[in-house]
Amino acid sequence: MKQQQKIVWSGADERKRQSKPFDGEKVYDACIIGGGVIGCAIARELSRWQLSLGLLEMRSDVSEGTSKANSAIIHAGYDAKPGSEKARTNVAGNQLFEPLCRELHVPFRRNTSLVVAFSSDGLAGLRELKSRGEINGVDGLSILSQAELRRREPAIGPSAAGALLAETGGICSPYELTIALAAHAVLNGLDLQLNCKVGQIRHDGRWFHLQTSRGPVRCQVLINAAGVYADTIHNQLSRQPIEITPRRGEYWLLDKSVSDAFSATIFQLPTAMGKGILVSPTVDGTMLLGPTAEDIDDKDDVRTTAQRLDEILRVAAKTWPDLPRGQFITSFAGLRAHARQNDFILGEVADCPGLINAAGIESPGLTAAPAIGIELARLAARRLNAPRRSQWQPAWQPPQPFRLMETEQRARAVRDNPAWGRIICRCEQVTEAEIRAAINRPVGAATVDGIKRRTRAGMGRCQASFCTPRVLAILSEELGVSRLELTKFGNGSRILTGRIGETVRSHEPPAADAAAVGLEVSHD
Ligand SMILES: Cc1cc2nc3c(=O)[nH]c(=O)nc-3n(C[C@H](O)[C@H](O)[C@H](O)COP(=O)(O)OP(=O)(O)OC[C@H]3O[C@@H](n4cnc5c(N)ncnc54)[C@H](O)[C@@H]3O)c2cc1C
């Protein structure tokens, strides 16, 4: 049996490394731009080969782009146009998902999906989707009558006339998956560089020369997995430009108290803009409504809007007439990287040898990620003529969450380490021990959102109002930095802006803290 590598990970050392400029030029055989699910899936697969491998991510953590904000559905594959890259990689990715999540210790559930027709006119659309799915190679598709549908999902709206059942549909945690992919790659030699924005790129025929916010990088194979920014990377190196439009999708999230309303993911019939508004359970027991679809100009604009959130409620009411409006806990938005050709752009660029694109990866990109990872890693390794590694470290296994432990296990954990007995997030029952472990692990958390996505602290009913000061105190202690320096998600998103005492005494806040005066709450 393979043994877990005995390495002590220090969040403090890692934070220092990730916040300073490189010592000199970084040289890699292969380098990936983008730490979303696609870049991390490629990195994990590429770490099976003997080569030097870098991944450059401009944000302070992996999974800070689209991979943190989507529907989290592992699509069956009936929706994509037959013969497209989307169809091919969706079906292949769906089959790879279950073993991958098991290997990476990431939650996944094959909860099935249903596409519901809300009038008898829609039944023809269901049959069309079913035959498209069969052409794409999707197993387990069948049409349910109104009665069968209602038996499975009693909360469904009264106008539901029938549904397409996809038995291979599933749900997962997209950010936990992305973090786990990155961590597994790091354990196998990936040099992950965060806070590292790629600017200008030049190709001299053999090497790619990258200017980044942390210093120069050189590599022989460059993999473009930059999400909505993939066009700005590609268009610097190719005379055949591509265009990526951010297509924003907004969501509502409902509390765990309504988790048993539906067991399958419920879609309405798809439209030209996407798969429409769904109602779906999540692997964490909450319920998701959305997304909308709106083309926008700003590649960073993940605001939600009253108009679109209302639209979700209006449309979702057809699926779920008894939608409990008092149970919303938050709303959020993500950006689809929509390519003009309406398909994934995968593979080596014809007029720039060595540049490999994973561009235009909108939905079903999460589902397709395991298949894209394997395919593009093989392509890069072949190009570099790299041999396979003989040894590959197994994936990192985070401690079992306290909320999922049996009473006996809890008692044992607290006996061994009293930090297991100190609850930091009351809503999600996250303990101090879990938060410290989330910081000191491969690809550990250095921000409040980083803790949230690794432990669920702050994701519950109160949305972090109780635990934020406590999480800040632990981060500050483990990382060896003042609480005033800590951020929600890097990039200047400081949570505390000054100490009330000092501010009041001096009448004039110190220059660095002059913008606003925040509240610092003591841990004790
Ligand atoms: C509303 C919505 C719903 C969706 N629902 C589903 C679903 O249910 N199922 C499904 O299969 N798929 C779904 N998707 C699609 C899926 O989320 C995406 O396909 C997937 O997350 C894309 O991953 P990525 O790695 O390509 O992009 P990202 O996660 O955005 O990663 C790209 C990374 O590149 C970094 N980057 C960009 N430019 C630079 C630069 N110059 N230098 C350094 N780093 C850079 C970014 O910071 C970012 O972290 C949905 C998408 C949206 C928006």
pLDDT digits (tens, 9 = 90+) for 193-232: 999 999 999 999 999 999 999 999 999 999 999 999 999 9
Yes or no: say if 440 and 10 are a contact pair by the CB < 8 Å rule.
yes
CA distance linking residue 150 with residue 152, whole number of Å: 5
Over residues 518-523, the mean pLDDT reads 35
Distance 319 CA to ligand 1 centre (A): 27
Between the CA atoms of 76, 82, 85 and 91, what dihedral angle is there, to the nearest 10 degrees? Answer: 20
Over residues 484-507, the mean pLDDT reads 82
pLDDT digits (tens, 9 = 90+) for 416-470: 999 999 999 999 999 999 999 999 999 999 999 999 999 999 999 999 999 999 9
pLDDT given for residue 8 in this prediction: 78
The band of 30, judged by pLDDT with boundaries at 50, 70 and 90, is: very high
The band of 491, judged by pLDDT with boundaries at 50, 70 and 90, is: confident
pLDDT given for residue 512 in this prediction: 39
Over residues 345-354, the mean pLDDT reads 98
Is the distance from the beta carbon of residue 344 to the nearest atom of ligand 1 less than 6 Å? no
pLDDT given for residue 502 in this prediction: 62
Over residues 224-241, the mean pLDDT reads 98
Q: Which atom of ligand 1 is nearest to the CA of 225?
A: 26
Question: How far is the CA of 58 from the CAs of 18, 36, 177, 193, 490, in angstroms?
Answer: 11, 11, 19, 8, 10
Report helix, strand or coil for 149. helix
pLDDT at residue 273 tops 70: no
- Within 278-435, strands assigned E span 278-281, 287-290, 294-295, 328-339, 345-349, 352-359, 423-425, 430-431
Share of the chain above pLDDT 90, in %: 90
Over residues 41-46, the mean pLDDT reads 98
Q: What pTM was estimated for this model as a whole?
A: 0.95
Is the distance from the beta carbon of residue 226 to the nearest atom of ligand 1 less than 6 Å? yes
**Which residue lies with its CA nearest to atom 41 of ligand 1?**
198
pLDDT given for residue 238 in this prediction: 98
Using CB atoms within 10 Å of the CB of residue 233, give its burial: 0 to 12 exposed, 13 to 18 middle, 19+ buried: buried
The band of 373, judged by pLDDT with boundaries at 50, 70 and 90, is: very high
Mean pLDDT of the chain: 93
pLDDT at residue 248 tops 80: yes
Structure tokens at 61: 């953590």
In one letter, which amino acid is 167? E
**Which residue lies with its CA nearest to atom 1 of ligand 1?**
249
In one letter, which amino acid is 178? T
Give φ, ψ of 228 to 5 degrees: -65, -15
Is the distance from the beta carbon of residue 362 to the nearest atom of ligand 1 less than 6 Å? yes
Yes or no: say if 273 and 316 are a contact pair by the CB < 8 Å rule.
no
**Which residue lies with its CA nearest to atom 35 of ligand 1?**
34
Structure tokens at 431: 């303990």
CA distance linking residue 157 with residue 320, whole number of Å: 5
Q: 312-343 as b/e, with b when 16 or more CB fall inside 10 Å?
A: beebbebbbeebeeebbbebbbbbbbbbeeeb
Is the distance from the beta carbon of residue 36 to the nearest atom of ligand 1 less than 6 Å? yes
pLDDT digits (tens, 9 = 90+) for 90-124: 999 999 999 999 999 999 999 999 999 999 889 99
